[in-house]
Structure 1
Amino acid sequence: MSARSPRTVVVDDSRFMRGLITDILESGGVEVVGEAEDGREALSVVAEADPDVVTMDVEMPGMDGIEAVERLMAEDPTPTLMLSAYTAEGAEETFAALDAGAVDFFAKPGGEVSMGVSRMEEQLVETVRSVATADLSPAGRDRRTEAAAAAAGTAAPGTGAADATGTPSVEPNTTLIIGSSTGGPDAVERVVSALPGDADLRGVVVQHMPEAFTGRFADRLDAASELSVREAEDGTRIGRGELAVARGGHHLEITNARDGRLRLAVIDEERGQGVRPSVNVTMESAAEVVDDPLVGVVLTGMGDDGTEGVQALSRAGGRVLAQDEDSCVVYGMPKRAAATGAVDTVLPLDDIAAGITGETA
């Protein structure tokens, strides 16, 4: 992160919301250098103010946030954080904005949000600061574009590593735990879509994301992958070729592993992690109950969630992979995981799937 405070443009059709967001950011040391009430005005304000980051409302009259992001990425690429409604409909539009090039999203307060207002304010400031550091180089934008194309069915999934006979080389009964945060939706989708459907894998994806969004995220992964992907429910059992996405606002534990199948528990408790779902909680539970091969993966994201989890996996004899700095949107979680000494291999995003199947380990 730059030593100076990030310069921000706030875009929202509600004057009240613009004022609220501005007050929160400025109280947290973020400099707001411009405001706009719709997407069209946002383009001109961003061109003039040259901010480090933009907060963009999704639903606005005239040019909405999705079109504004598309135009912004084509004309004046600037890291953008979407502010979206805490609803399933909001999730659909938000993922469209991520496909258009937005880095991450933050759910606006609503009746279902359980964290305190002060905590939400801290998280918004932290997320804006993190998004301001995002890599919007041509290579980074190309990766996001290709991931979006795979989700739309224009690129073939299941291109993971295989041996000379075409059979995936992953060890039998391998349990996979993938953790990510900022920039994670596209990164996870790229990894999961590259895993071969006939590999002897089952596992869990832990993405920092609100509850209203994780079901839609699971659907996207399922459509982009040869694996079967669904949102986890309490008591869910998954076997070969299946992944479960941890439900937002809850922790996910693996409570039993037998005959190649995992039993999952959705936990509605804080657990002192600061985020829900937490990568630490899921990885530590896997290390405790899974006797078969374990593979942990830490992808792009801010913060240090996963540092305790990767150490637990390593002590249990598991392999741990982390995404490298150059391919991360935000090099936070992978950096801190690697600093523990528990990471076996650091790989570019494009090589993570092959690392999971053992081809680059």
Structure 2
Amino acid sequence: MRSGPRTVVVDDSRFMRGLITDILESGGVEVVAEAADGAEALSVVADVDPDVVTMDVEMPRMNGIEAVERLMREHPTPTLMLSAYTEDGAEETFAALDAGAVDFFAKPGGEVSMGVSRMEEQLVETVRSVAEADISGGRTSGAAVATATHGGTATETRPVGGVEPNTTVVIGSSTGGPDAVERVLSALPGGEDLRVLVVQHMPEAFTGRFADRLDAACELDVAEATDGARIGRGEVLVARGGEHMKVTRYRDGRLRVQLIDEDRGQNVRPSVNVTMESAAATIDDPLVGVILTGMGDDGATGVRAISEAGGRIIAQDEATSVVYGMPKRAAATGRVDTVLPLDDVAGGIVGGAS
């Protein structure tokens, strides 16, 4: 069993601290210290210099949001928020992500859609992933030259032309994705002939709030997906947590989706693969697949399907990915056409038509 990462567990409940510690240590994660609130967490982190912190949101003296803000200023450390599985918890969690937290996880013992053992495995996996996150804040922007890796051949590419009529974009992301997706969508012009599907690994209680945030941040009209929802030019659907989003129909620039409440052989729900594969099978107009930061390999099968259907594939580069898991697995398929820094992805979508 792998050792590490060195972890500090922060929660005002002694029972919850013990439960989280037991889960992590049984999964081979080393818990080096615990703290009962944000103020104590700052002192403990400064003393033990951990690889990762798990942080409760609601705590006395100093809550998790303020603690993350202080931590990122005083002792930057990758932080995973453990949030209540509620709409209120979603609001607070997004505030913590804005403050600098890397990712979040529904608290053990909450109402979750996966079994207890699977939830415990996922928590351990997420802590390990967050511990490896790059929180240096370095960003690459401007008219950077991208590298085309399709078929394993590196070539210099530059955006040319404009977006093709009736272009559909499918964006997949996980760890670090909420901020990455927002930055991509907010950079897309509202006047282009685009319709966008977003698949972000996120629990059901959070995706509606995520869609609202995206809608406020960009020129496109963004909504959480519902079963049978239709979108056209200038519209975006965000996959609902706990259900796959499948494209079932496409005609005259409008597409329709179905929500599926079953695994479909995937280890996450919603799955990027399900949406990308169904889009590739259904849409006969221009199609672009985008893989952003995230752990795991979801999307690798989907990019193959889009590429085989004649679509383009864009992957976020390692330097700007919080976790270079999903983009790396996508690139390993040999189907990625363009690798771009996060702040150039929107330009690649709009200007990459040939």
Secondary structure of the 1:357 match is helix
Q: Is the 8 A contact 1:354 1:360 kept in 2?
A: no
TM-score using structure 2 length: 0.93
| CA positional deviation for 1:358 | 2.3
For residues 190-339 of structure 1, what are the structure 2 equivalents within 5 Å?
190-339=183-332
Equivalent position of 1:148 in the other structure: none
1:51 aligns with 2:50: yes
Cα distance in 2, alignment partners of residues 315 and 5 from structure 1: 40
After superposition, the C-alpha distances for 1:263-314 in whole angstroms (9 at most, x for unaligned) are 0111111111010000000000000000000000000000000000000000
Cα distance in 1, alignment partners of residues 285 and 332 from structure 2: 26
Cα distance in 1, alignment partners of residues 8 and 72 from structure 2: 15
1:131 aligns with 2:124: no
TM-score using structure 1 length: 0.91
Q: Is the 8 A contact 2:168 2:195 kept in 1?
A: yes
Equivalent position of 2:14 in the other structure: 15
Root mean square deviation, CA, Å: 1.7
After superposition, the C-alpha distances for 1:48-106 in whole angstroms (9 at most, x for unaligned) are 01000000000111100000000000000000000000000000000000000000000
Q: Relative contact order: is structure 1 or structure 2 higher (C-alpha 8 Å, sep ≥ 6)?
A: 2
Cα distance in 2, alignment partners of residues 89 and 257 from structure 1: 36
Cα distance in 1, alignment partners of residues 127 and 59 from structure 2: 20
Cα distance in 2, alignment partners of residues 223 and 112 from structure 1: 29
Cα distance in 2, alignment partners of residues 358 and 138 from structure 1: 26
Q: Is the 8 A contact 2:84 2:110 kept in 1?
A: no
After superposition, the C-alpha distances for 1:114-155 in whole angstroms (9 at most, x for unaligned) are 211000000000000000001111426x99xxxxxxxxxxxx
| CA positional deviation for 1:112 | 3.4
| CA positional deviation for 1:203 | 1.9
Equivalent position of 2:103 in the other structure: 104
For residues 54-93 of structure 1, what are the structure 2 equivalents within 5 Å?
54-93=53-92
Equivalent position of 1:151 in the other structure: none
Secondary structure of the 1:203 match is strand
Cα distance in 1, alignment partners of residues 83 and 185 from structure 2: 25
Cα distance in 2, alignment partners of residues 108 and 4 from structure 1: 23
One-letter code of the match for 1:199?
E
Select the residue among 170, 181, 185 that pairs with 1:188: 181
Structure 1's 281 and 15: CA in aligned 2 closer, same or farther, altered over 3 A? same
1:34 aligns with 2:30: no
Q: Is the 8 A contact 1:86 1:109 kept in 2?
A: no
Structure 1's 132 and 206: CA in aligned 2 closer, same or farther, altered over 3 A? same
Runs of at least 4 residues off by over 3 Å: 109-112
Cα distance in 1, alignment partners of residues 186 and 159 from structure 2: 15
Q: Is the 8 A contact 1:229 1:244 kept in 2?
A: yes
Q: Is the 8 A contact 2:3 2:29 kept in 1?
A: no
Q: Is the 8 A contact 1:86 1:110 kept in 2?
A: no
Q: Is the 8 A contact 1:324 1:347 kept in 2?
A: yes
Secondary structure of the 1:283 match is helix
Q: Is the 8 A contact 2:163 2:193 kept in 1?
A: yes
Structure 1's 162 and 29: CA in aligned 2 closer, same or farther, altered over 3 A? closer
After superposition, the C-alpha distances for 1:148-190 in whole angstroms (9 at most, x for unaligned) are xxxxxxxxxxxxx998xxxx81100000100000000000000
Q: Which runs of 5+ in 2 are unaligned?
A: 142-157
Secondary structure of the 1:276 match is coil
When the two structures are aligned, how many residues end up with a matched partner? Answer: 337
Equivalent position of 1:154 in the other structure: none
Secondary structure of the 2:319 match is coil
Equivalent position of 1:152 in the other structure: none
After superposition, the C-alpha distances for 1:242-275 in whole angstroms (9 at most, x for unaligned) are 0000000000001001010010111111111010
One-letter code of the match for 2:269?
R
One-letter code of the match for 2:90?
A
Q: Is the 8 A contact 2:246 2:260 kept in 1?
A: yes
Equivalent position of 1:354 in the other structure: 347
| CA positional deviation for 1:109 | 3.7
Secondary structure of the 1:179 match is strand
Cα distance in 1, alignment partners of residues 70 and 208 from structure 2: 28
For residues 162-181 of structure 1, what are the structure 2 equivalents within 5 Å?
169-181=162-174
Identity of aligned residues (%): 79
One-letter code of the match for 1:6?
P
Cα distance in 1, alignment partners of residues 338 and 90 from structure 2: 33
Structure 1's 56 and 6: CA in aligned 2 closer, same or farther, altered over 3 A? same
